[in-house]
Structure 1
């Protein structure tokens, strides 16, 4: 959900989202390093399914994860079998911010330079000296000689750097998994229910102005992204393989610098968001909307199916715990 929330806050503007790949130009890419471990390829099933039930009504949940091996092909016979039996599919939780076509055209001039630091500042100007010094070798390794990036806000530079690091490590955001599930749902004409919330975009012009003029507390986002690439690449590959094999315990055992939380906080706590009453408590509202949709599906259908990120399935504040507190039986995959 963290990636989705950050993406939403970025898309509100609308500008590049955290989940979007922004690879450096080919002529600027550094040579790809030799991998230190072998990433799993070919067909892989991923983890088993979580089961939420009350009486003879069941909601099956598949846990998605990112990053995953680029050349892995996901296929789960268990998922395909249960989807074939399902009367309803719950799309992943999200927040939607829609701007009409004509309204979008009027906002285009305001988008010029939206990714740049205010007042023409560079990364050297806005980052602590030690953080900037760490950025230099990672920039050379993953991005190359693109000096225009030096004028972008740290949160967007972090996005570009992270995506480039994943690519060199043989990893991807793992969007093919959801694409495959959506394809199965479409082919079988399964009823699809959106579980997202809609954000108010009536005051977009002011939001854009506030964003372009205001500062972001995004140094922590940038710093933790550097740490992730400095120390966690090999562990990312290990976790990606663990998901492909269905070994959730291995993923949980490997901690890592949580740059997505830091980057989300930079956006959510920014003044331009605080100035918009309809953009408050987004995380809590998303969870409430999904839990409500899950309860409705469990009430209406014998069998329903949903996808959630592992971060939404695990931990004390998980969606599963919210359902458990309402009296539903929760069974984890073996």
Structure 2
């Protein structure tokens, strides 16, 4: 929760697990005894930037990815130069729920226990026996002894399992890259603009209480996490290396069909989310909001710098494809 001029802000991430970019494609799992992809270390350039233009107005778009190699140091010199020359930095689109000051304070206690199953149920009670058996094997491999996680809803238990797997794989899910861009913008006094939208929550305590008491159809998310975890970790190591080395060809060739969608849908298609109009069609609304902000920035500035997740840059339904369809010229880095 961060303080803003409009009061206090609750990120929808309170209800949704992190948006890891995991493949459910055809990456083969390494055979026993064969080392997995070695995660690179040291100073690395990261990917190049995409160029969006109309006339003399240009927007440079940088793609972020998580997770990244824990021991990698990003060489941000190229991005620093572009940010310093820009009149505005467009931050990644995020949906934020704004509530009043006093409402925020009274809602805080109700957030405790939001990850737990209703009626204090444990995983063994809420998932099929074969799925639970698979869970116990992977939990022992990546998490170890932790009885508390057994009380988590499947969607959140899967998140904890993934985080533990990332740590053992030499990967880190953090915001260091975005934080560096923010620091450069502040240092050069470049305006930073939110590109998402605000969600108005009339009764945050009721929203959280209803979520805690409701069942969530997250078995698909949980099962997909278990079934693809080992191959996903290998795929994420490959992707992390490709991002760090700026290998656009390899990044472009990766399958971005994601577990994230199944897990996000588990929460957003729950009865509580369906009843809350503000939580509907989040992904579509974020895309629409970003396109509007991007066009405004391109019209107002000679040079704009924008940050997007890499999966929102590539592909026919990407954000940049949306700008291209509106007449902007989009050029990919080499």
Moved more, 228-237 or 197-206: 228-237
Which residue pairs with 1:88 in the alignment? 88
Which residue pairs with 1:286 in the alignment? 286
Which residue pairs with 1:318 in the alignment? 318
Unaligned runs of 5+ in 2: 1-9, 21-32
- Inter-CA distance 87–111: structure 2 relative to 1 (3 Å threshold): closer
Which residue pairs with 2:144 in the alignment? 144
Which residue pairs with 1:69 in the alignment? 69
How much has 1:36 moved relative to structure 2?
Answer: 3.2
SS at match of 2:53: strand
2: distance between equivalents of 1:277 and 1:241? 40
Q: Answer yes or no: is 1:179 the counterpart of 2:174.
A: no
The question of whether the paired residues in 1 share the 8 Å contact of 2:17 and 2:155 is answered with no
2: distance between equivalents of 1:53 and 1:19? 29
How much has 1:257 moved relative to structure 2?
Answer: 6.7
Moved more, 74-83 or 143-152: 74-83
Which residue pairs with 2:297 in the alignment? 297
Which residue pairs with 1:273 in the alignment? 273
The question of whether the paired residues in 2 share the 8 Å contact of 1:19 and 1:173 is answered with no
Which residue pairs with 2:12 in the alignment? 9
Unaligned runs of 5+ in 1: 1-6, 21-32
**1:60-103 deviation per Cα after TM superposition (whole angstroms, max 9, x unaligned):** 00011111100111113321221121111101111111334422
1: distance between equivalents of 2:94 and 2:237? 27
Which residue pairs with 1:29 in the alignment? none
Which residue pairs with 1:106 in the alignment? 106
Counting only pairs closer than 5 Å after superposition, residues 1-334 of structure 1 correspond to structure 2 as: 8-11=11-14, 17-18=17-18, 36-255=36-255, 258-334=258-334
How much has 1:278 moved relative to structure 2?
Answer: 1.9
The question of whether the paired residues in 1 share the 8 Å contact of 2:17 and 2:264 is answered with no
**1:23-49 deviation per Cα after TM superposition (whole angstroms, max 9, x unaligned):** xxxxxxxxxx99633322121111111
How much has 1:229 moved relative to structure 2?
Answer: 1.9
How much has 1:253 moved relative to structure 2?
Answer: 3.2
2: distance between equivalents of 1:200 and 1:321? 29
SS at match of 2:98: coil
Which residue pairs with 1:23 in the alignment? none
How much has 1:268 moved relative to structure 2?
Answer: 0.9
**1:275-326 deviation per Cα after TM superposition (whole angstroms, max 9, x unaligned):** 1122222211111111111111111111110110111101221101110111
The question of whether the paired residues in 2 share the 8 Å contact of 1:200 and 1:279 is answered with no
How much has 1:114 moved relative to structure 2?
Answer: 2.2
Q: Note the aligned Cα RMSD (angstroms).
A: 2.1
The question of whether the paired residues in 1 share the 8 Å contact of 2:93 and 2:196 is answered with yes
- Inter-CA distance 298–256: structure 2 relative to 1 (3 Å threshold): closer
- Inter-CA distance 199–273: structure 2 relative to 1 (3 Å threshold): same
How much has 1:265 moved relative to structure 2?
Answer: 0.4
SS at match of 2:145: coil
The question of whether the paired residues in 1 share the 8 Å contact of 2:221 and 2:262 is answered with yes
The question of whether the paired residues in 1 share the 8 Å contact of 2:11 and 2:95 is answered with yes
The question of whether the paired residues in 1 share the 8 Å contact of 2:19 and 2:260 is answered with no
Which residue pairs with 2:24 in the alignment? none
- Inter-CA distance 302–109: structure 2 relative to 1 (3 Å threshold): closer
Moved more, 160-169 or 274-283: 274-283
How much has 1:328 moved relative to structure 2?
Answer: 0.4
How much has 1:157 moved relative to structure 2?
Answer: 0.7
- Inter-CA distance 221–80: structure 2 relative to 1 (3 Å threshold): same
The question of whether the paired residues in 2 share the 8 Å contact of 1:8 and 1:17 is answered with no
The question of whether the paired residues in 1 share the 8 Å contact of 2:122 and 2:152 is answered with yes
The question of whether the paired residues in 2 share the 8 Å contact of 1:47 and 1:243 is answered with yes
2: distance between equivalents of 1:257 and 1:157? 21
- Inter-CA distance 34–149: structure 2 relative to 1 (3 Å threshold): farther
